[in-house]
Structure 1
């Protein structure tokens, strides 16, 4: 047999061999004095005899090693296969491990607490003893396939009883899970503590709600609204394109005083609006905050309204987000960038008059370039960038940008208004309008149609279920 586990290291002039990941002392592997070890050494392996096995990770050779090796592969010829010596070694090693394993099982079954067992590969694992596991299981809920006779209501179809008959949980045929408790073990009846509906999120107590998904619940406190404020009711969108759920807020003394609205749309975006009141009650007055995929950081670190945005880099490379997918950018000349596949700037003007461009700035908030732009007839945009010197400032605060170094070693800087590419490691953020045939808009239409079909299918299914219930 041959043993090759791990790697070894030797030093020139020393007889000691150090192993990594080795188990030379384990009898089951059969490494012993007098055996030959062959150590990897290029095309000329080193062959030497083992004089002693000091430990799992140390051997002593008969002679000093002629060279130094580290992390080297090796092999030890332990016994000749199918010989009497090989059989004797194998049987002896196996017998020793069987005895150890039986002793470990005895310890596992009779001791308390935790028991450490060593596996044949040398790995050590810690197990809970049988007594420890029995003690842990003794405190779990006891299951009863029938409703407890001490309960006041026997209409359930299964229950879980608590130790000491202190309470129980059962599910009714209507799909409501009911938790009963018996305070201080008094009397034979139970008092209802909570009823959990089949749909997560329904209010189940005066000061708490259950929230979660499917069978996972988390309890949270419900706090009262500030004085003079009330929730005007919840609502949900009925059109496929505007699937959303939200809450209206207002003053409790008026039936037409909704002044705010918070909702989450089907696309995962969150909105906070203020609403007009009076004759325009209920109509949007404007956005206060947008949360989620509707905001983005520009190149200067400012948070701005998103969708659709193109990031233009100095060499003309670019990045699009989900909504601007399909747009392209080409650098046509020094400081000149041509954006195609769009319909000009975004029409809502959220980034300014042109709808727009976010220009990189320095540490003092000063823009590094001028921007000249024009929208073409096909909707494309040509953006030209020129150096911005800020000559009105003291010299140390001006934008000194190196253009080149002459053959004589003189430094030449860009002049104010001179065409230039964007400074290195900066970018332009451009907010654009995408055509109806863009990748994003097509996906949104497909999603809306899909959701509309799902809604119709749900309505048909609900109507069928109600019809079945009515017949019953």
Structure 2
């Protein structure tokens, strides 16, 4: 075996190589090898030292000097002797030991490691300084990182929390905590659906309406509810402080009531709000409580409200109107009691234009009778004179007027049946909600128990 890579020059006892790698691992170039320089005449030299990849020391002295670019040959194995074989083996082991030492430094190093391979120095980072990769072995430390990772690299593109939130498009809610319960009164928290009854079809239920002071949308407890306008209806609480608040409750029928709690120790009574759902406009334009009310017109036409739906009126003759589908008159003190459930038309001086009488039949129908009414002692313009009719004669209700009759409705009326159905539906909804709450509590309790058992094990 010979080594002939590159060219040499020489003078004295030093050989200088060009394009050579005398120290390459496994090259077998070593002290004692023979170097033949192809000069004229040829010079035969023996290596006394391998100084570097491009330098050798030789003996005897070079004579004459070897010119640059001279070809050469180094005999790597002079013979197949035992001594030569031993030297080859020792050189090979030395090469592997050198490589293995370098590889060990690379695998265990925490900084840059330089190793020489075939005479070429290579610098690589120690593997302990390289971040781990792959599933479940993500980066655990980047102490030397000075540039923030972009979102595409798995970072936020920022070096601080405000910058990260801005890059991610997060608003101020990102720094706020969620409410701890659906009635958490602490300011600054972020509400979730269902808090204070918002965003849910089944709002919070009061345990006791008198104790609730937090603004929100609620519902009554249903059966057994006290201190409510209606224990089944939704209720709104508006609070300025624990001693300055108000509530508004609306029934399914549309009736509405309010009450307040202002610097006193108790709620005020519920005050019903009057609307066209619970009042009727009398023929003179005034409002009266109306529930249920039937308006009877001259030709027997009838107008009912929600609660009197189903009542019919028949014009049986002059001044006679039969009201059916009711159970007599409603004894409401606001209308004068049992005998005062009527409102009759008046003139511009508030004088009644007719007399009115009635009969309640055995089945509950009401026969209303109307009679002409005059005022002979009044000025001419106010005597209410009708041609062909004397005072007390049967007469129809004036064509441009009506008589309001407040009636009592049977239990099976359209309105009462609807209210009964609504109440049953509300009770069923309460039952389902109670079951849902109980089941949620059971699941939560089981979860706590399981977590406790796991922690003990």
Give me the TM-score of the superposition, normalised by structure 1.
Answer: 0.47
| Bigger share in strand | 1
- Larger Rg belongs to: 2
Give me the TM-score of the superposition, normalised by structure 2.
Answer: 0.48
